[in-house]
Amino acid sequence: MTELWLIRHGQTDWNLEGRYQGQADMPLNATGLAQAQAFAASLDGRKFSALYSSDLMRAYQTAQIIAAQVGLAVQTDRRLREINQGEWQGRTLVEIRAVYNEGKQAHRSQIDPATARAPGGESVLEVSQRMALASDDIARAVPTGPVLVVGHGLALATLYCQAKGIALSEVYLHIAENTQAAVIEWPRN
């Protein structure tokens, strides 16, 4: 088992506005930069074997700040990106509801959160599969750990659920706050 530290990126303006970021390449705002610096400082004296990050700017900026503190190079992996939100990307929940009238879809209680998707986007199940493949590769490359993995709320929550045996239908309950970390054990496959 490899110990993975799952760290969500710092805050962006779209986080504040409640916009679905998906794979939009948004930078950290001033608060997000300060959050990343505070998190990095909290790691003072800890030793890590590697640092991986999503290639999206908000995660990569967070990872760079952490890398300066822990003395590691940032290794990027596109598979660590957030869920592709398709046509919902950049919109708020209010805007989405106005454009994609929920009454046109199946009754809400019949929708499986793990397989539902925004038009043109990915499902949680698809995200969990690519995140698991990336984590498998990380665990094989760095079997001794611990490893820092900087990414995105929903994508990292899929790993947390998989490691803890939690159904993906509950993934939204396990999305971390900005720069919050969760530590899991990931099996080497």
List pLDDT tens digits, range 77-111: 999 999 999 999 999 988 988 887 654 444 444 46
pTM of the model: 0.92
Domain boundaries, the chain: 2-122+143-153+168-186
Q: Per 3-state DSSP, what percentage of the chain is helix, strand, and coil (rounded to 5)?
A: 45, 15, 40
Q: What amino acid positions are annotated as catalytic residues?
A: 9, 82
Distances (CA, A) of 69 to 9, 42, 62, 115: 16, 9, 11, 39
Tokens representing 21 are 């970021």
pLDDT, greater one: 1 or 151 = 151
Sign of CA dihedral 68, 130, 90, 19: negative
CATH topology for 2-122+143-153+168-186 is Rossmann fold (3.40.50)
pLDDT on residue 53: 98
